[in-house]
Amino acid sequence: MLKKCLTSVAAVALLAVSAHAADLKFKPDENSDFHWKSYHDFADNHDLKGQTLTIFGPWRGQDEDLFQSVIAYFEEATGAKVDYSSSENYEQQIVIDTQAGNPPNIAILPQPGLIQDLASKGLLTPLGQDTADFVQKNYAAGDSWKGFGTYTGKDGDKHFYALPYKADLKSLVWYVPANFQDAGYEVPKTMEDLKKLTQQIVDDGGTPWCIGLGSGGATGWPATDWVEDILLRQQDPSVYDKWVTNEIPFDDPKIVEAIKTFGWFAKNPKFVAGGPQAVATTDFREAPNGLFSIPPKCFMHKQAQFISDFFPENVKVGQDVDFFYFPPYGDKDLGRPVLGAGTLAMITKDSKAAEAFIDFLKTPISHEIWMAQTGFLTPFKQVNTAVYTNDVLKREDDILLNATTYRFDGSDLMPGKIGAGAFWKGMVDFVGGMSAKQSAEEIQKAWDAIK
């Protein structure tokens, strides 16, 4: 009787394991493009049976489903159970939970300012120098990503708290290849070439750019991306870092020059569809539509990767429309800077399972599972980009992997009243006729007012 019961228990356990394995999106060892060895090595070194790991993050809807497909491999490898949750107001919720003494084991957040706040209150567990060194060595623009994970703790010292996982890309210019081909234009490799192409399109009777800053109460934010991308191409990244903290003020000549350069594109009535007066009133979601009109109302549109979600339904990215990297200056030795954003994973309640999950995110497989589906970019150099089934994502990721400098959206790093207020308004005023210097001075006055 006992033997029969044990046999039944074993059968149930085997059935449970088999059912769990069946939930895995890709069968281990089936596709040689995946780094399955990293998965097996991780599994061999982590036994967490009977343990539960709580994770709180920003992903909901389809993104949550995709992240759950990654979590399944952690559960399968370790035997742990993972409870993932999110919230529509996740930024406020994580503050409430941590201050109430009820934090998740792992928090995944995209806001460095919020992470700094948590670190300064002693609510994060340092990940250690080995993890910091791992990021510096294994991530493209490793110094940049190591910096994003490093914050001042409650003790007043800097520690590495946050491991990068999943990135976003802003430094893109969109165009219609057929329009370029018909006109005999080539994709520019330098900023100088981009300016020459802009003028050439005008000389040929066309309009180079579609630009739209309209976004309801957030009108003006697309211009901040222009200025940030330009600043990273004109100045050493240390200038950018000091600017977002106001150590270098907004009305510094270096910042004014970047604003002026944005104006070179946006304020010339021959360079932008509808003229400067249309820039501030055109909704950013509608701005790229000019690429697809016949004849084209414009030839180029600068915007982040997500803008493809707003292209006409029948337009296929990679065929009907494509993108190129917003290029650096050829006469400056500043490498290949990239502007974007990203999410960072940190331990908010330490446990063996929490530390193991950080180790899991250091494996190529934890990135490749999501990469092989949709919507995932990573600067982690150890991944195999052959797992991408979407060539568009692969080429976007190549831009990340070839970056020498990576910086988060500067307006997101600034105080809300500046980055999500005075900066937006200042750019609308600038396009509307105010000088770059005047606009910068007005933004700096707003910053001085909150100090």
Instruction: Please return the burial class of 177, using the count of CB atoms within 10 Å of its CB with bins 0-12, 13-18 and 19+.
Output: middle
pLDDT at 9 > cutoff 80: no
Q: What is the DSSP letter of 418?
A: I
Given this model, what pLDDT does residue 23 score? 85
Topology of the domain comprising 172-336+414-450? D-Maltodextrin-Binding Protein; domain 2 (3.40.190)
Determine the pLDDT at residue 12: 36
CB–CB of 25/373 below 8 Å? yes
Average of per-residue pLDDT across 268-292 = 97
For the residues 150-173, what does the mean pLDDT come to?
98
pLDDT value of position 409: 96
In the prediction, which pLDDT does 92 show?
Answer: 93
Looking at domain 28-169+339-408, does it have CATH number 3.40.190.10? Answer: yes
Angle (deg, nearest 10), helices 237-244 and 221-234 = 140
What is the Cα–Cα distance from 320 to 180, expressed in whole angstroms?
12
Q: What's the burial of 315, exposed, middle or buried (CB within 10 Å: 0-12/13-18/19+)? A: middle
Confidence of residue 326 (pLDDT cuts 50, 70, 90): very high
Q: What is the DSSP letter of 157?
A: S
- The total of other beta-carbon atoms located within 10 Å of residue 314's CB is 7
Q: Is the per-residue pLDDT at 4 higher than 60?
A: no
Model pLDDT, residue 367: 98
207-256 pLDDT per residue, tens = 999 999 999 999 999 999 999 999 999 999 999 999 999 999 999 999 99
Q: CB-based contacts of 7: which residues, under 8 Å, 6+ apart?
A: none
Helices 436-450 and 423-431 pack at an angle, to 10 degrees, of: 160
Q: Name the percent of the chain in helix, strand, coil, to the closest 5.
A: 50, 15, 35
| Average pLDDT of the residues in 275-281 | 95
Instruction: Categorize the per-residue pLDDT at 98 as very low, low, confident or very high, splitting at 50, 70 and 90.
Output: very high
Q: What pLDDT score was predicted for residue 355?
A: 98
SS3 at position 272: strand
Domains in the chain: boundaries? 28-169+339-408, 172-336+414-450
The verdict on whether omega for the bond into residue 415 sits within 30 degrees of 0, i.e. cis, is: no
CA angle 390, 59, 34 (to 5 degrees): 40
28-169+339-408 and 172-336+414-450: same fold?
yes
Q: Flag whether pLDDT at 6 surpasses 80.
A: no
Q: Is 382 helix (H, G, I), strand (E, B) or coil?
A: coil
Task: Answer whether residue 184 shows pLDDT above 80.
Answer: yes
Residue 16 reports pLDDT greater than 80: no
CA distance linking residue 197 with residue 180, whole number of Å: 11
User: What is the H or E stretch that residue 83 is in?
Assistant: strand 81-85
Instruction: Compute the mean pLDDT over every residue in the chain, rounded to the nearest whole number.
Output: 94
Distance of alpha carbon 270 from alpha carbon 198, whole angstroms: 10
Res. 451 pLDDT band, cuts 50 70 90: confident
pLDDT of residue 292: 98
Residues 6 or more apart from 279 whose CB is under 8 A from it? 211, 212, 213, 266, 272, 431
Q: What is the mean pLDDT of residues 408-423?
A: 95
State the pLDDT confidence band at 347, using cuts at 50, 70 and 90. very high
C-alpha–C-alpha distance, residues 367 and 385, integer Å: 10
Task: Using alpha carbons, select from 433, 425, 439, 449 the residue that is nearest to residue 217.
Answer: 425
| Separation of first and last alpha carbons in the chain | 77
On the question of pLDDT at 11 being above 80, the answer is no
Q: What angle do CA 176, 179, 184 make, to 5 degrees?
A: 125
Q: For residues 425 and 223, what is the distance between their CA atoms, to the nearest angstrom?
A: 10
pLDDT mean over 55-73: 97
